[in-house]
Amino acid sequence: MTADRPNKKGKVIEAILDCINDGVFTVDHEWIVTSFNQAAEKITGIRSKEAIGRPCCEVFRANICESDCALRRTLETGRPQVNQHVYIMTAQGKRIPISVSTAPLRDENGDLMGGVETFRDLTLVEELRKQLRNHYIFADMLSRNHRMQQMFSILPAIAESGSTVLLGGESGTGKELVARAIHSLSRRKAGPFVAVNCGALPDTLLESELFGYLAGAFTDAKKSKPGRFAIAEGGTIFLDEIGDISAALQVRLLRVLQEKEFEPLGGTRPVKADVRVIAASNKNVEDLVKEGKFRDDLYYRLNVVQVVLPPLRERKEDIPLLAELFIDRLNHIQGRDVSGIAEEALSDLMHHSWPGNIRELQNVIEHAFILCRSGLIRTGHLPDGIMASRAQKRFFTIGTLAESEAKFIEEALERNNYRRLATARELGINKTTLWRKIKKLGIKCPEENPE
């Protein structure tokens, strides 16, 4: 009777595990599978009797098995891993997303005897997440920020109008993407879209680049060359960094906008310009007008419709979405299998001030791809500047850490209309942790705050 107890106990545990919807398997010190429940069979397509006795990497074919195994980290450190997003290959050759958690297994004396891993099929969650992300996509832009959503709502009307547009916002906020969206939604979409960075060329070269020249206009002009306005005929020209052009060039550009014509260098006859102009500047053009550095009449011609893009530090709720988008793109381009960003690394991204905005975020993810071959992007894969900015913030706020944390969470809640799930995503923490911090820090929320 006594001898049967361990066997009965084992069968009870097996029956309990088979009632769980999550896949569960255990391994010994040699990484050999010692148990495999029914949910694990269903998710992987591998039968229990085929899995038990084999190395787990042969059974549980995940993209992290060789480089970043969660179970190996648990057995080496003795610390559990929670909700790591990875991909596995089923017995039928289908690649599916799963969420993995691991923990050490210890005997009665507390000695390590192996590990246990639970995993959940995220296929439906992944599909819903893609549908949700598509909800926030407009043209090639992605945002859930309320200011960006307001901009998305008026862009079709702006595109339809055909008016000149002035785009404002810091460098790296995506002004060219907005210009391309306006063009693609307009009646000129079949025509060319031509982009010119006015701040990248000296004045003399920029003039010939915009308006072209005729053969013999200057010493090296062996043959005529059309300018960007001629190339953009019937379409849209995007003049980036318009605040950097000289006073003389401002006069020529004003004539194009007023008379709808221009003269190539060396020419004597005006050429008609059927071109829509979209201009952009990371400087405040109105301030340049007040300082006498930009013509007011040209400013009014350009500023028929103005759109200002918020910096990334004011739309941090978009960081997880944008990071995921850049990871998907780089996986596709490079044929890689990076599954996402670890919670601590995402938290680092959320704490950064992003002076380079979306362009900087894209470069950070590309940097992480160099160091992270597969699995999750972790803190060690991020550039030193990201870590330095967080360390500096901690240094300056150490005296009032609780107050700073409360203020940071309150601002995030307000940005997300007190939706706790959306706020938790922005902050890179789970909803339960956020709720615990709200209570601990005494943060007051509306009585009927949405989930």
| From-to residues of CATH 3.40.50.300 in the chain | 136-310
Q: Is 3.30.450.20 the CATH number for 15-122?
A: yes
**pLDDT tens track for 326-380:** 998 998 888 887 888 888 888 899 889 999 999 999 999 999 999 988 778 988 9
At 407, give phi and psi (nearest 5°).
Answer: -65, -40
pLDDT digit string (tens) for 382-421? 998 886 655 555 444 433 456 667 777 887 888 777 888 8
> Is residue 280 exposed (0-12), middle (13-18) or buried (19+ Cβ within 10 Å)?
buried
CATH fold of 314-441: Helicase, Ruva Protein; domain 3 (1.10.8)
Q: 413: number of CA atoms within 13 Å, CB side?
A: 20
Query: Rounded CA gap, 279 and 239, in Å?
Result: 5
pLDDT in tens, 244-285: 999 999 999 999 999 999 888 776 788 899 999 999 999 999
Reading phi first (left if > 0) and then psi (alpha if -120 to 50, else beta), residue 274 is in: beta
Pairing status of strand 193-197 against strand 236-240: parallel
Write the pLDDT tens digit of every residue in 71-122. 888 888 888 888 777 888 888 888 888 888 899 888 888 888 888 999 888 8
Which residues make up the CATH 3.30.450.20 domain(s) of the chain?
A: 15-122
DSSP state of 340: E
**Residues forming CATH 1.10.8.60 domain(s) in the chain:** 314-441
Topology given in CATH for the domain delimited by 136-310: Rossmann fold (3.40.50)
What residues have CB less than 8 Å from 429, skipping those under 6 apart? Answer: 343, 347, 437
pTM over 0.85: no
